[in-house]
Amino acid sequence: MANREAIRELQTRLASRLRTARDEGLSVSWLAVTAGGRNYLFPLAQSGEIFPIGGVQSVPFAVPWFLGVVNLRGGLFGVVDVAGLMSDVTGSPPPSPRAPVSGSRPVVTLNTALDVNCALLVDTLAGLRNPQVFGGSLPPEPDAPAFFGNRFADAQGQPWQEINLQILSQHPRFLSITAQAHS
């Protein structure tokens, strides 16, 4: 229960910081998250709300990274494990054993303008980021999925991968959740 409260407090702080940034004209571009030991940047304009996860109903015959569906504010959302999806799409080794889906892990919904009821399960929220906190950017690797944007490194040298959620929401692998399609 304390984890749910911590996520709610973080969500409130992030929403407040975002309002302040908009009011003061500050450049805030991304919601920074971690999943499967990797760092990702979700464009704020393409991100929706943040929720603690709970009550996921599994869906039979789905790929392992599609965890099921959940009711968020009266809407039905598909829940996608970001680490598992990235492993599947990029062909990288699967993430180490995952923590169980619980209220301690947040989901980030896609912006309603993308017209896809999807919640992305991440391990942690790392806050808001603007381009100034990074030392520069590199283009995606040549063999990277189409939804990979630029790559960044923070002041500590940690790599961050930008994910274009609009392109992701239309990616064929993302849209095909049946396990038989990838066998």
- 157, two tokens: 């040298």
- Element containing residue 28 per DSSP (H, E): none
pLDDT value of residue 104: 73
C-alpha span between 155 and 178 (Å, rounded): 41
Residues contacting 166, CB < 8 A, separation 6+: 46, 114
Q: What is the pLDDT of residues 96-105, one digit of tens each?
A: 655 556 567 8
Token pair of 59, please? 């869906």
The mean pLDDT of the chain is: 86
**pLDDT tens-digit series, residues 110-119:** 999 999 999 9
pLDDT at 1 over 60: no
pLDDT at 163 over 60: yes
pLDDT digits (tens, 9 = 90+) for 33-63: 999 999 999 999 999 999 998 889 999 999 9
Neighbour tally for 148: CB within 10 Å? 21
Confidence of residue 108 (pLDDT cuts 50, 70, 90): very high
Chain mean position to CA 7:
15
Task: Please state, in angstroms and rounded to a whole number, the distance separating the CA atoms of residues 29 and 11.
Answer: 17
Q: Are 81 and 98 in contact (CB under 8 A)?
A: yes
